[in-house]
Structure 1
Amino acid sequence: MNNLWKEIKVGNMTLPHRLAMAPMTRSRALEDGTPPEMAAEYYSQRASLGLLISEGTQPSADGQGYLLSPGIYSSEHVKGWKNVADQVHEKGGYLFIQLMHAGRVAHPENTPHHRQAVAPSAVAPGEQIFTAKGMQDIPAPRELSSEDIKEVIQEFRHAAKTAIEAGADGVEIHGANGYLIHQFIGENSNVRADEYGNTVEDHARFALEVTKAVVEEIGADKTGFRISPGVPLGGIDEGSQGPDVYRYLVKELAKMNLAYLHVMHVGNDEFLKEIRSLWPNPLLVNRAGRPLEELSKDIDAGLADVAPVGAWALANPDFVERLKQDAPFNEPDKTSFYGGGKEGYIDYPFLSK
């Protein structure tokens, strides 16, 4: 694992190693979407991971999908995230806030305004979502008009601006895992007949327009982008043109000179090699189901530059130290992943405690 411990420049950051904290939904925000005080402790506890990518954070009220997920569009949100960023920085870490618009993966009962969700097309994902009343079917969303799309792009721009105002080092645009940007990429979730839903270029258009707006607002060196080729989360089927959409999208994103590209990888190594060949800047690869002993495998093979860590980082605030010492790891408690209080959030033990 020697390659894991080499420094790397990502955007305007110099990271001490090739590990990072992957974005993980924890559903512990206040009702208005403000990160609570314990969120600052949660992230700062894990600052030794270098680059911390936050949980998915909605850029607007329409962008919320889950109960008690954080936002980054109001003055209160900025105050909450500033506390997080300040405490992470005090411990020597960097914070990128992940901008996640859930699109159709939402329920009116989970949002502050209780409106119908929005998406590229009025097509329900055919799945259920957790609400205060338990699991419920996700209803069909409202199709975004051309004017609506322009407004959503500006919501991403505003969220990026407020993230920087809150002291974050940058933002990651969530274009993966079945959420809004991925819904524009999907063949079954995007059945539009306009410039956002026909050709390969059309399916990538919204992702590129969002990224362009964010880069204009905060700079390419403070912008990352996440993709998940072939991942069917949120009921997404990318169809036969899916690989071509990603080839085009990655080429166009590369022209913007972003800080990094983050790939949620599910096993098509040949396609990962293609993405690697198309992407000149740091590539983060989060390989689903990867055992700890294979953390550096993609880096060693030249397929990745950084290996984000998910549940193991959640359960081990001193993950880096444990890995270096070959020490035992805390087991993640899946029952406390989403919602609740301090238990399973900021009470995992450190080696030294």
Structure 2
Amino acid sequence: MPNATDPLFRPLTLGGLDLPNRIVMPPMTRSRASQPGDVPNRLMAEYYAQRASAGLIVSEGTWISPMGKGYAWTPGIHTPEQVAGWRLVTDAVHAVGGRIFAQLWHVGRLSHTTLLGGQSPVSSSALQAEGVNVFVPDSGGKPGFVQASMPRALATTEVREIVEQFRQAARNAVDAGFDGVELHAANGYLVNQFIDSNANDRTDEYGGSLENRLRFLDEVARALADGLGDARRVGIRLAPLTTLNGCVDADPEITYAAAAKLLGEIGVGYIHIAEADWDDAPDMPVVFKRRLREAFPGTLIYAGKYTAERARQALIEGWADLIAFGRPFVANPDLPERLRLEAQLNTHDRDTLFGGGAHGLTDYPSLDALAV
């Protein structure tokens, strides 16, 4: 059994928030928002409250505007009804002592015309994410995956409008009771489509040089800090060495070290690194992780198939401050306690990850329930 010096259970202060442990529940799309309107609901509130023993919860991605939506039944944070729905969630988490950030999401080209009222998705450039599927309902309302639609390139003025949409989304997150926000700038979504060289062929101030490709990230991060009133309550999710959803950079270590340095200058509270987590994925070298540590003075969160043992080692070595456990949190609402006791973990049901009701969302048993 871990002793009192277990690094997973050392407290940490993040942006003035006191976290009781180093265990993060990362954002995971579950597609349970109420229809019509993609409104967060009481079932989602129960789901997050069950997992409030995490040091920090980051919500599933919540889209900032109708054109930012890319998957069926995902919640927004755009309308008054959506903000009120998220308030149900944050109130439930806070009532049991938890802390929760909203992950703000614009998927860019990773969408489909059927989700956008017939409009084409938007992106940094008119480059399709070939072979990339998105989750949509068919004509009968059944869920399925289809090829993402061909996007159109955003005009320069439209890029600036989206920056303002992010600023408003941060304000909406405050109204919804969130403790902070995380920008999804990873996994091939819109901000990533500006950062990575192969997804950006722009010739204006948002394309070409590394400085220009980081400009959208810079402006959005500053807008979020302004919308919240505190840069320390802003987190940024990055995926430096993955090629998920078709985004690849010609020199990712240089690009993402520069991004980390930039975010440190802005003063955001944390960077959340999404490592590749498929079976034959390349490892992120520790030397690069240390380079990110040198470039960024804030908190670093890592996610990517971490076991408790690997997590503890990362914390001990010092290149990580917090570790996010994705799939284990799906099936283990009391994951921190299970890690503390080194108890057996429930296995998640893949067939219930996207869409549906309580089954596969809120009905996984805790240790206390199993003991009865």
TM range (shorter): over 0.9
Alignment of 1:182-331 (within 5 A): 182-218=192-228, 219-240=230-251, 242-266=252-276, 267-269=283-285, 270-286=287-303, 288-331=304-347
Code of the aligned partner of 1:157: R
Code of the aligned partner of 1:347: D
Please state whether the residue corresponding to 2:367 is helix, strand or coil: coil
The aligned residue for residue 186 of structure 2 is: 176
In the TM superposition, residue 129 of structure 1 has moved relative to its aligned partner by 2.1
Aligned partners of 1:55, 1:193: CA distance in 2, in Å? 33
Q: Return the TM-score normalized by structure 2.
A: 0.92
Aligned partners of 1:71, 1:135: CA distance in 2, in Å? 20
Code of the aligned partner of 2:316: D
In the TM superposition, residue 249 of structure 1 has moved relative to its aligned partner by 1.4
- Identity in percent: 38
Please state whether the residue corresponding to 1:109 is helix, strand or coil: helix
Please state whether the residue corresponding to 2:45 is helix, strand or coil: helix
Aligned partners of 2:176, 2:118: CA distance in 1, in Å? 27
Q: Please, which moves more after superposition, 218-227 or 131-140?
A: 131-140
Code of the aligned partner of 2:128: A
Where has structure 1 moved over 3 Å in runs of 4 or more? Answer: none
CA shift digits 1:55-99 (9 cap, x unpaired): 011000010000011111110011100010001001101110000
The aligned residue for residue 71 of structure 1 is: 76
In the TM superposition, residue 323 of structure 1 has moved relative to its aligned partner by 1.3
Please state whether the residue corresponding to 1:56 is helix, strand or coil: strand
Alignment of 1:83-122 (within 5 A): 83-111=88-116, 113-122=117-126
In the TM superposition, residue 110 of structure 1 has moved relative to its aligned partner by 2.3
Please state whether the residue corresponding to 1:49 is helix, strand or coil: coil
Please state whether the residue corresponding to 1:68 is helix, strand or coil: coil
Please state whether the residue corresponding to 1:17 is helix, strand or coil: coil
Please state whether the residue corresponding to 2:192 is helix, strand or coil: helix
CA shift digits 1:230-287 (9 cap, x unpaired): 11111111113x322212211111012211111112322221111011111111111x
In the TM superposition, residue 49 of structure 1 has moved relative to its aligned partner by 0.6
In the TM superposition, residue 50 of structure 1 has moved relative to its aligned partner by 2.4
The aligned residue for residue 31 of structure 2 is: 27
In the TM superposition, residue 292 of structure 1 has moved relative to its aligned partner by 3.5
Aligned partners of 2:198, 2:165: CA distance in 1, in Å? 25
In the TM superposition, residue 293 of structure 1 has moved relative to its aligned partner by 2.8
Q: Please, which moves more after superposition, 310-319 or 26-35?
A: 26-35
Q: Please, which moves more after superposition, 172-181 or 123-132?
A: 123-132
In the TM superposition, residue 114 of structure 1 has moved relative to its aligned partner by 3.3
| Conserved? CA contact 1:201–1:245, under 8 Å | no
Code of the aligned partner of 1:224: G
Please state whether the residue corresponding to 1:307 is helix, strand or coil: strand
| Conserved? CA contact 1:183–1:189, under 8 Å | yes
The aligned residue for residue 87 of structure 2 is: 82
Aligned partners of 1:107, 1:150: CA distance in 2, in Å? 23
| Conserved? CA contact 1:99–1:173, under 8 Å | yes
Q: Return the TM-score normalized by structure 1.
A: 0.97
CA shift digits 1:192-223 (9 cap, x unpaired): 11111110111111011001111112121221
| Conserved? CA contact 1:50–1:92, under 8 Å | no
The aligned residue for residue 57 of structure 1 is: 62
The aligned residue for residue 7 of structure 1 is: 11
In the TM superposition, residue 325 of structure 1 has moved relative to its aligned partner by 1.6
Please state whether the residue corresponding to 1:87 is helix, strand or coil: helix
In the TM superposition, residue 321 of structure 1 has moved relative to its aligned partner by 1.1
- Alignment length (residue pairs): 350
Aligned partners of 1:80, 1:120: CA distance in 2, in Å? 31
Aligned partners of 1:178, 1:225: CA distance in 2, in Å? 14
Task: Provide the alpha-carbon RMSD of the alignment.
Answer: 1.2
